[in-house]
Amino acid sequence: MANSVKLAVIPVAGKGTRLIPLTKSLPKEMLPVGRKPVVQYVVEELNRCGLQKLLFITGPTKTAIENHFDLDMELINHLRQTGKEKLLMELAYEKADLQYFYTRQRRQLGLGHAILCAESFVGKEPFVVALGDTILGVNAKARIMERMIQVFEEKEADAVIAFEEVPEDEVHRYGIASPVDLTDPNVFQLANIVEKPSPAEAPSHLAVASRYVFQPEIFEYLKVTKPGKNDEIQLTDAIQSMIADGKKVYGVRVTPEEHRFDIGNFESYFSAFLEFAVSDPDYGEVIREKIKKFVK
């Protein structure tokens, strides 16, 4: 797909404290969901949507991510020599036409600060942000990034953000949109956005679904954003300032098939694993039968 946006920033520096002890030495982005680690689905989604250069914002304990995307010629040769063609296919992702870059967020000051670490890499180009701990759709079949880039180009927007409707008791976990109107419920301009509001304060139930497209001017807003919720520099607060400055920020709604799996807490991690396991082409049926037996 030809589009004007080629760069993706993938923040993976978060500590994953809600998944301790799993995440003590294992990055949450490397947790298995079905057959692949979370971050592989994210990279495959970006590749499918035409992104070419990926910058990971990493942190301590995250080197397994770099290893996962290396080309492992020793393993490839071994599988080739021993005739393990099927397993060889599982490593095809290593050969995707993508360039990988890594930089460290040296202090944990929040998502906004993590994005700011990408400034010199991004330069003057538009770019996307895809949170490395969130899969959209079973087996990451989401095409939302394509639609977001299309809206970004057509509307000459300054930012486009993915949204998913969530139940009221979940609004406190996400950035929540205040749309100008919902004449088109799938593509709407934002009048405001609020980070992790209480249900009473939430302007809607439309929650940021971990994918963004930005003009590089977002960096100017991030640089002057003060610590907000949880004393962190929030990306949402920088977006709020953009909107207040009259910039054009749009929301695009995910489809039900692009449902978010947020691998940041056990409930959502367990649900994701189950859903991917029961949709596995080889073992899905067997797993369904097993579940029926032990869930009475």
Binding residues for ligand G1P, rule: CB under 6 A, are 111, 131, 174-175, 195, 207-210, 234-236, 264
Query: Based on CB atoms, which residue is closest to ligand G1P, 40 or 236?
Result: 236
Nearer CB in complex with ligand G1P: 79/249: 249
Residue from 239, 253, 246, 136 nearest 184 by CA: 253
State the Cα–Cα distance between residues 104 and 54, nearest whole angstrom. 14
Nearest distance from residue 186's CB to ligand G1P, in Å? 18
Report residue 3: phi and psi, to 5°: -145, 170
* CA gap 270, 261 in Å, rounded: 10
CB of 228 to ligand G1P, least distance (A): 10
Q: What is the largest CA-CA distance in the chain?
A: 62
Comparing every residue's Cβ against ligand G1P, the nearest one is 175
User: Toward ligand G1P, which CB reaches closer, 227 or 284?
Assistant: 227
- Using alpha carbons, select from 152, 118, 133, 137 the residue that is nearest to residue 50: 152
* H or E element in which residue 289 lies: helix 284-294
First to last CA, the chain: 47
Tell me how far, at minimum, the Cβ of 194 lies from ligand G1P, in Å: 9
Complex with ligand G1P: residue 57 or 277, whichever CB lies closer? 57
Shortest separation between residue 239's beta carbon and ligand G1P, angstroms: 9
- Give min distance, CB of 171 to ligand G1P, in A: 10
User: Is the CB of 27 or the CB of 264 nearer to ligand G1P?
Assistant: 264
